[in-house]
Amino acid sequence: MIHSCSERKMITWSLCLVFSLSYSVLVFASPAKNLCRPDQRDALWDFKNDFIVQKDDRLSYSNPKTESWRNNTDCCSWDGVRCYLQTGNVVELNLWGSFLSGPLRSNSSLFRLQHLEILNLGSNPNLYGNIPSSLGNLSYLTDLVLSDCGFTGELPDSMGNLNRLIDLRLYNNKLRGNFPLFLLNLSDITQISLSSNNFIGSIPSSLFLSPSLVVLELSGNNFSGLLDIGNVSSPSKLRNLGLGRNNFSGPILGSTSKLVSLKDLDLSFWRDSLNFSIFLHLTSLERLDLSYPNTRIMVDLDLFSHFKSLWDLNLSGNNLKISSTLHFPSPIYMLKLSSCNLSHFPKFLQSKTSLSYLDISANQIEGQVPEWLWRLRYVDISQNSFSSFEGPSDVFRRSGRQPNSTMFFLGSDNLFTGEIPRMICELVNLQTLVLSNNNFSGFIPQCFKNFNTTISVLHLQNNSLSGAFPQESIGGRLRSLDVGHNRLSGKLPKSLVNCTQLEFLNVEDNRFNDTFPFWLRSLPILQFLVLRSNKFHGPVSYPQDSMNFSKLRIFDVSQNLFTGVLPSDYFAGWSAMSSPVVYVEAIVHMLVFQNYHKSVGLTNKGSNMDLVGSGFRIYKTIDVSGNRLEGDIPQSIGLLKELVVLNMSNNAFTGHIPPSLSNLTNLQSLDLSRNRLSGTIPPDLEKLTFLAWMNFSNNMLEGLIPQGTQIQSQNSSSFAQNPGLCGAPLKISCSEGEEEARKQEKENEEKEEKDQVLSWIAAAIGYGPGVFCGFVIGHILSSYRHDWLMRIFRSFA
């Protein structure tokens, strides 16, 4: 019986094994079934076709996911798509950083994906327009990420239907309106991130009572009024609280005693006096930003010494008191003390081996740069009064670290003199070196080649450096090179052609003697090209060849020796100046938001100015003034509809002013003075409502000056030295102007007659001696070589 039972069990297990194997064979042998429903696939495919993909290979997250989608494949296997296995419905769409370009329309097929739970379209800066009300139809959404895009306008009321939201991230857009009150009804919300938008109004105190809220980021808006964080009755889960860079008034109200989980607190740029003492009991803080309060007060650094876990502290813009006996036990990693009225390095930092990031810019620290700084990865000592570095022989030996730690060194606007220290060449991992606005002299060190494989930003502007720029210092990762306002000579280094990531090139006000670097056209993302005030010469165009600088925003070749004619299609390929599409400008972001103290000289509205900060985003400029260019102004100039400044003065341009200039609807400054232009001023220029300054003086223009408001508001000097021009703002009426023109024409005719007479006199002067010499030679030949002369005549007979 027992034996029979065992046999039955064995048979049963064998049958199960056979059945299992058979099923596996059938499954693997049968053709794969698409999980994706056809309507879901069609909706995704239509959504993909709504956008242009503007790929940017510079960025590490460059991954345009929709480019890998194929219409004849299972959409549930597409990159960024996840489906529910049982139904085939799309429940997640993650296209973060996919370079989608275009508006999100209200009738977008995206909103046919009714079962979406997670939607992430973040980090697509060319995705713009209002957020459609149709978004409220996606009622299953729990996670909505639209951060780092170009969305504008107010949030639609329909978003109140999204009552399952847990995670909402809308930071870094251009959204506006009051705080969205529907968020107060979301009992399960854990993250609300609205930072860096234009929201206004007050913040409801009940927001801070949410039992589930972990992250609340409201910094960088225009919220105002009293801030009341309420009286939380039970311990709060809130870990991140961002309230800085707003317009809150008065002290912070409420109790913070229950915010025991708080790790990250941002109260930067606080408008009124800040009662920070209410947060002192939060000993678990890890990141704290109290920078740039509206009312500067004396802050004792010892106040923060009891925060045992603090690793990121920003006290910039405060008057800081640091005791020589300060003990700071926290493992500080990032410390920002810019604009704190410091006159000495804080001594306690020497013992902080965990410190990696130090910003002590814009203080009054003098003397030598201490050797212990070289162990840090990021150092900003700009805008101080340093005069030298500790000697190269013992710096790294005494620091106890390898000379490859520092990756970012910013030392602009100090009092450094002499040659650039060779010790910098030992920083073989250096990515950013900024030594602008000092008084360094001598050559650029050849040993800069030591970090040419890592360096991306090299700024040496406004020193006294001389000699040729070493070719070996140029590496393939270079993104920004600024050596303007020095005494460099020779030719522009052709090794720049290998810098496929180069966006910014400024060599203004040097002594470079070279032809135009046509080879720079091969650099796909070059945005700023400044060759101003050198000795560049020769043509700036190839015959029958357009320049095609597709990403160029600033083109300044003024004050050189360029010659030749610009072809009619010269500007045909300059798409960045012709299209309003936002481009992902990595280097512009650096120049605006990081402490590089960058500037470029620019002639705008007849005056010299320095382009700094946000100007790098705003201005799109062409300046070819002060050269020897001739011929017609290219008609293709009219394609550059986003151009803000155009300066073609001090050349030898001829012909008429192109009527296509009236297409430049964003133009603010136009200078065509000191050329040889003729004809009339195009009447359509009066339509350029932003054109605040113009100069047509010292040409050969004629006729009535257009009567538009923008033109009539100009000074009369903008039209001077054009004998044929008449009408306001000149004090010459058109009848007088015609008489003046006839008078000028008569003077020109008389001058021409005099020139002809002089030409005839010159010819006669040359003719008389010529005839006399002919007679003399003829007499000599006929008298002394009669036989020889006769033989010559016979040979022609």
pLDDT at 388: 93
Residue found by looking up tokens 């990762």 in the block: 477
What six digits make up the tokens of 785? 């070589």
Q: Is 675 a member of any domain?
A: yes
Give backbone dihedrals phi and psi of 557, rounded to 5 degrees, phi first: -120, 25
Residue found by looking up tokens 């300066």 in the block: 647
pLDDT at 558: 97
Q: Is 15 a member of any domain?
A: no
* Contact in structure between 404 and 427 (CB atoms under 8 Å): yes
Nearest to 331 by CA among 368, 359, 356, 362: 356
Q: Is 613 a member of any domain?
A: yes
Q: Is 88 a member of any domain?
A: no
Rg of the chain on CA atoms, in Å: 36
The whole-angstrom separation of Cα 616 and Cα 598 is 10
Between helix 734-784 and helix 786-796 the angle, nearest 10°, is: 120
* Contact in structure between 317 and 331 (CB atoms under 8 Å): no
pLDDT at 368: 92
CA-angle at 667, arms to 665 and 671, nearest 5°: 135
What residues form DSSP beta bridges with 231?
A: 255
The whole-angstrom separation of Cα 81 and Cα 77 is 7
What is the domain range of residue 610? 503-732
CA distances from 586 to 48, 103, 479, 482, 747 (A): 25, 22, 9, 16, 58
What is the β-pairing status of strands 100-103 and 52-53? antiparallel
pLDDT at 433: 95
pLDDT at 601: 57
CATH code (residue 685) = 3.80.10.10
The whole-angstrom separation of Cα 358 and Cα 376 is 8
What six digits make up the tokens of 6? 């065992």
Q: Is 699 a member of any domain?
A: yes
Q: What is the mean pLDDT of each run of 10 residues along the chain (797 residues)?
A: 51 51 39 74 94 66 82 92 92 94 94 96 94 95 97 95 96 96 92 97 91 95 90 82 92 84 93 78 91 86 89 94 84 95 89 92 94 91 94 50 78 96 90 96 93 92 96 90 96 94 95 95 92 96 77 95 94 87 45 48 57 56 96 95 95 96 93 96 90 94 88 90 91 67 48 41 40 40 41 38
Taken in order 70, 71, 77, 80, is the CA torsion positive or negative? positive
Q: Is 364 a member of any domain?
A: no
Nearest to 533 by CA among 558, 551, 516: 558
Q: Is 594 a member of any domain?
A: yes
Q: Which residues of 281-314 are buried (b: 16+ CB within 10 A; e: fewer)?
A: ebeebbbbbbbbbeeeeebebeebbebeebbbbb
CA distances from 274 to 144, 242, 520, 665 (A): 34, 15, 52, 46
Q: Is 65 a member of any domain?
A: no
pTM, to two decimals? 0.81
Taken in order 735, 741, 746, 749, is the CA torsion positive or negative? negative
What residues form DSSP beta bridges with 646?
A: 622, 670
> Among the residues of 538-696, which ranges form H helices?
586-593, 615-618
Question: DSSP letters of 212-271?
Answer: S--EEE--SSEEEE--EEEE-SS-----EEE--SSEE-SPPEEE-TT-TT--EEE-TT-S
The whole-angstrom separation of Cα 397 and Cα 718 is 65
Question: DSSP letters of 102-128?
Answer: EE--TT-GGGG-TT--EEE--S-TTEE
* Contact in structure between 554 and 600 (CB atoms under 8 Å): yes
pLDDT at 618: 61
* Contact in structure between 249 and 224 (CB atoms under 8 Å): yes
Number of domains within the chain:
1
Q: Provide the total of helices (H) and of strands (E) in the chain, helices listed first.
A: 8, 53
Which segments of 618-677 are extended strands (E)? 621-623, 628-631, 645-647, 652-653, 669-671
Residue 503: count other Cβ atoms within 10 Å of its Cβ: 25
pLDDT at 64: 86
In eight-state DSSP terms, residue 721 is: S
* Amino acid at the residue 51: F
Nearest to 494 by CA among 513, 469, 477, 511: 469
Query: Is residue 634 within a helix (H) or strand (E), and if so which, with residue range?
Result: none
The whole-angstrom separation of Cα 257 and Cα 91 is 40
